[in-house]
Amino acid sequence: MFGVLGLIVAIVCVIALIWKNWHMAIVSLAGALIVIAFNAMDPVTTLSEKFMTGMSGFAGNWFLLFMLGAIFGKVMGDSGASVGIANKMLKLLGEKSVVLVVMLTGLVLSYGGIGTFIIAFSLYPIAVALFQKADIPKKLIVATIMVCPVTVCMAMLPGSPSTQNLIPTQYFGTTAYAGASIGLICSVIMFVSAYLFLNWQIKKAKAAGEHFVASPGEDIMDLNAVDEGKTPSIGACFAPIVVLLVLMFGIQSLTSIPSSYAVAIAMTCAIIVGCVLYRDRLNVKEAVSNGAGGGLSSLIATSSIMGFGSVVSASPAYESITTALVNMDANPLITALISINVIAAITGSSAGGLNIFLSSMGEYLAASGLNMAMLHRVVCIASSGFDAMPHASGMVVCNQIAKTSQKDTYKYVFITCAIMPFCCAILACIIGTLGIV
């Protein structure tokens, strides 16, 4: 019981320090030490074998993609290409469609197979130009960027290439398109609900006299630059993104190269295309160097929180919690819904919650007599709920990129990326129980 209390204290401490804008490396280490102390773990062994291994493992796996993603975003932003794209989409969909433009762009990129971290780097320059043009307070930008990649595309849309949508196939013998009806219904409800909520919050903020304020040191090109001829042609603006999507899809379809390497190759080619097309508008050396520096800074912050997660996962208290959850004497769907969300909330990882639960309960669920396609979609959607905690890696990265504080942004993230998908998971259970699959 003392160890469980330690996990609670550690998570509260981590969230409080994040709120106070402490550096994520300090936050993560403080949280890890609390877990170690309350669980009577060996500090030297735990820090060296769990914290550092978890941190270095994530950094090693994501080093290239973080750096390339940040460089790509910097090239698109400094050249004015992102402003050109934002302006074109605004003209197509209307001046009041900022939230819709950002959400749809995130939806397309995510369903195309681009990971959440890369989307944050790529989409932010477009989103911030739109927010500045529409004079929308920046506290809403993280929720607007993240909502589709971490809910609709990650867990709800049938056929999504996300890890969360593929994990259940190993246990239920299903495909990525399993539970299509449930997924489509929840996707529509999730998208519309988030869209309406964010627009409602924008109206409230403007009524309160709030305006867009750039973060310290942030230089944002105004959308008027398009009319002044300061941005590339619209074809050149879209070219790197088209190259990225086409190459990524082609490499994954035609070769056996792992998806992470396919994205890295496609991203490298997209950066090269951008540097060539924008060479007269861009200081290539400065953009690449500053982009790489920004990406590695975000990587350190995110890797640190993964080190904290590794210590949590190795604690005796965590093992006792997961054991108690997966052995709940309740309806299998209720057990899945509660267990996955509690584990995901503790670790800040949807894939972690899903993996841990299914590794223990996957065979039991498969033998329960329930529809496999329904189970696939329900557990998948369940994983997209309370994983969106302040210490979740996606939240950390997006706030780092946007130079915003979770104290300002998180309440909007919590509603759109935690409460709403959790409600969709409950709806998925009800729909599935009624026989709609």
Asked whether the beta carbons of 28 and 14 are under 8 A apart, the reply is: yes
Say if pTM beats, i.e. exceeds, 0.85. Answer: yes
H/E/C letters for each residue in 37-78?
Answer: HHCCCCHHHHHHHHHHHHHHHHHHHHHHHHHHHHHHHHHHHH
Query: In the structure encoding, which two tokens stand for residue 97, read together?
Result: 């469609």
Q: In the structure encoding, which two tokens stand for residue 291, read together?
A: 């982009």
Give the single-character DSSP code of 140: G
Phi, psi for residue 403 in degrees, rounded to 5: 55, 45
Tokens of 358: 């299914």
Which tokens is 406 given? Answer: 């979770």
Q: In 3-state terms, the chain is what percent helix, strand and coil (to 5)?
A: 80, 0, 20
Q: How do the pLDDT tens digits run along the chain, 437 residues long? A: 789 999 999 999 999 999 888 998 999 999 999 999 999 999 999 999 999 999 999 899 889 988 998 898 889 888 888 888 888 888 888 778 999 999 999 998 898 888 888 889 989 998 998 999 899 999 999 999 999 999 999 999 999 989 899 999 999 999 999 999 999 999 999 999 999 999 999 999 999 999 999 988 777 766 666 555 667 888 998 899 899 888 988 887 888 888 778 888 999 999 999 999 999 888 999 999 998 998 898 889 888 988 998 999 899 999 898 888 878 878 889 999 999 999 999 989 999 889 889 988 898 889 888 999 999 999 999 999 999 999 998 999 999 999 999 999 999 999 999 999 999 999 999 999 999 98
- Tokens 């230089």 label which residue? 219
The whole-angstrom separation of Cα 319 and Cα 35 is 13
Is the distance from CB of 72 to CB of 270 less than 8 angstroms?
yes
